[in-house]
């Protein structure tokens, strides 16, 4: 039977109003795969999430109940007790500069990740190196090897692991990942065609933990659905 787990509304978060501003002091985690070490936990819908962020708190952002994750160089919140291989993962995402979803994590240092740079979608935006940001909105990386991180992939395989996506600079947009074998398709909002397709993921792990990753991002309505065959 297919299992579905959801995070989103205030009831689903299952947190009392008094806990809405509770935050966790955690270690750093960066786009360059900094060393990650958990020091806290968060409970949503009676599910335990392990946090690796400086701060993980439930709040409101643009009229949605959301999980706000902040860390100086990137932080993650990992859903505990879930082993995910093939299937779909969906989430509403807002803000940046780097905000996304990771999957098939062996641990906090080794995972596949799809993340967004929403600020690059704004007309005329420039990437950090001063080049046009338009084609650098959505990015795939695999943590754990310098040759599968964004800088090496951009230099060695330009345009293969990052692409344009029509998302707002600081507003909400919906993301759906379709994961099958080594292929990952990334869809935004109601698009019929993916904004990015990765034909061969770069991490060896084919099953593992899932979660959320951001420098300063908001998440809502998180769902995942493993494939029918259980892979």
Q: What pLDDT digit, counting tens, does each position of 85-132 carry? A: 999 999 999 998 999 999 999 988 899 999 999 999 988 888 777 777
- 5-226 to CATH, choices 2.60.40.10, 2.60.120.560, 1.10.730.10, 3.40.50.1370: 2.60.120.560
Structure confidence at residue 27 (pLDDT): 28
**Rounded Cα distance, 205 and 201, in Å:** 10
The DSSP H or E segment spanning 11 is helix 10-13
Mean pLDDT of 57-79: 87
Q: What is the mean pLDDT of the chain?
A: 81
Mean pLDDT of 46-69: 85
Residues 160, 148 contacting (CB under 8 angstroms): no
pTM here is: 0.82
Instruction: Go through 60-74 and write b for each residue having 16 or more CB atoms within 10 A of its CB, e for each that does not.
Output: ebeebbbbbbbbeeb
Q: Write down the number of H helices and E strands in the chain.
A: 2, 14
């Amino acid at each position: 039977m297919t299992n579905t787990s959801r995070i989103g509304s205030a009831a689903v978060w299952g947190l009392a109003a008094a806990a809405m501003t509770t935050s966790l002091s955690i270690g750093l985690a960066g786009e360059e795969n900094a060393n990650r070490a958990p020091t806290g936990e968060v409970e949503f819908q009676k599910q335990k999430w392990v946090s690796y962020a400086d701060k993980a708190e439930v709040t409101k952002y643009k009229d949605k109940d959301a999980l706000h994750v902040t860390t100086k160089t990137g932080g993650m919140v990992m859903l505990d007790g879930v082993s995910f291989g093939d299937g779909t993962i969906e989430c509403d995402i807002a803000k940046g500069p780097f905000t996304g979803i990771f999957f098939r994590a062996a641990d906090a240092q080794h995972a596949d990740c799809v993340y967004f740079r929403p600020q690059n979608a704004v007309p005329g935006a420039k990437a950090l190196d001063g080049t046009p940001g338009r084609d650098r909105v959505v990015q795939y990386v695999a943590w754990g090897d310098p040759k599968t991180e964004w800088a090496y992939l951009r230099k060695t395989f330009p345009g293969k692991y990052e692409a344009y996506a029509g998302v707002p600079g600081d507003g909400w947009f919906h993301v759906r990942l379709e994961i099958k074998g080594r292929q990952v398709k990334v869809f935004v909002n109601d698009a019929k065609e993916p904004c990015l397709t990765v034909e061969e993921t770069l991490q060896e792990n084919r099953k593992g933990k899932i979660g959320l990753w951001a420098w300063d991002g908001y998440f809502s309505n998180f769902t995942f659905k493993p494939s029918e065959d259980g892979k």
